[in-house]
Amino acid sequence: MSDTLTNIKEQIASNPILIYMKGTPQLPQCGFSAQSVQALMACGEKFAYVNILEHPDIRAELPVYAEWPTFPQLWVNGELIGGNDIITDLYQQGELQKIIQEAAQGTAQA
């Protein structure tokens, strides 16, 4: 296993709510990342992020590991939730808030 893959797995395992995005929550570098992070911030819980523009190794390897080709990618409790379309849909349905709050409180069912 590559160091990059080990790093990705550690990031996902050690952060209950993690978004891989282009840019930062304060300064997103693409519209999809901006939309996703806005929905995530509206849930009102702390979350971790990785700016893939600063980590070309992660940008190259994560889509293969996740079997998900695009960014952003939202991971909650070690599971890929999805990209911008899924994040936005879940938010509009009120589901994202529940998922994020449960993860932040550590009450999500395994």
Residues marked as binding for [2Fe-2S] cluster? Answer: 30
Nearest CA to 40 out of 76, 69, 10, 71 is that of 76
Annotation: binding site:
30
Q: For residues 12-38, b (16+ Cβ closer than 10 Å) or e, as one string?
A: beebbbbbbbbbebeebeeebbbbbbe
Can you tell me which residue has the tokens 């808030």? 97
Q: Which amino acid is at 76?
A: V
